[in-house]
Amino acid sequence: MRSTFFYALLISSLCPRVTPHPSNRTIDDQFGDSVTGLKPDFWSSPYIGPWDTQSLGCKQIVAGGFTVEDCPLALDATQAFMGTYSSTTRYAYQGPLGISMQFTGTAIYVFFTLVDDTNLINPTSANFLVDDELLGTFTQPNETDVRYKALVFYQTGLPNTLHKLNISNIYNVSTYLNFDYAIYTVIIDDISVAIDDVNLAIGDVSVTIDDFSVTIDDVGVID
């Protein structure tokens, strides 16, 4: 028996390409990270009471030995990112408070809701620490209107690694803080495989099979 096959396949330049590109993700005050779901941590000294959200009305809080009625400003939540915000008022005699969150990426942008002077309890002010280093301070200018999604801090040019952002009140200043959301930029590697130049060549390959035989001995049937 003799058969002959002819084939050859030659693939030249199979090139995987890695294209890094920046992509923005968000961290909402209540829904958290748009990809990991991780929520920010609203931290405060015990003398301040819990943070308010867009859906809370007045509540009784015990602060510095006094029971006070805390009525958060009613803002238009529909203008806030994802319809939510978290706010608090901190008087100079109370302890520290703030918001911390983590992100992996090269840039971070923080958005607050700023309240106009007629509503104002305390102007907004905050320190912004990235990886425990103070990289920015925001002090509210006079506002004539409520400003939603106001950019209060950003930092670009960070290494594309895990970072911690810690927003805190300024030590001895009374403040109103209203955190809406943050954006961070992550670098994603797109891997694509491009197949250039596929050549299919048919040449002289031959296989010869001589003396092909099969012998079956001792086949038994069991009944």
Contact positions vs ligand NAG (CB under 6 A): 22, 24, 96, 98, 100, 109, 142, 164, 166, 168, 172-173, 183, 185
Q: How far apart are CA 48 and CA 200, in angstroms?
A: 75
CB of 124 to ligand NAG, least distance (A): 13
CB of 88 to ligand NAG, least distance (A): 15
Q: Which is nearer to ligand NAG, 121 or 205 (CB)?
A: 121
Q: Which is nearer to ligand NAG, 31 or 56 (CB)?
A: 31
CB of 144 to ligand NAG, least distance (A): 10
Q: Which is nearer to ligand NAG, 80 or 183 (CB)?
A: 183
Q: Which is nearer to ligand NAG, 91 or 109 (CB)?
A: 109
Q: Which is nearer to ligand NAG, 39 or 56 (CB)?
A: 39
CB of 99 to ligand NAG, least distance (A): 9
CB of 192 to ligand NAG, least distance (A): 19
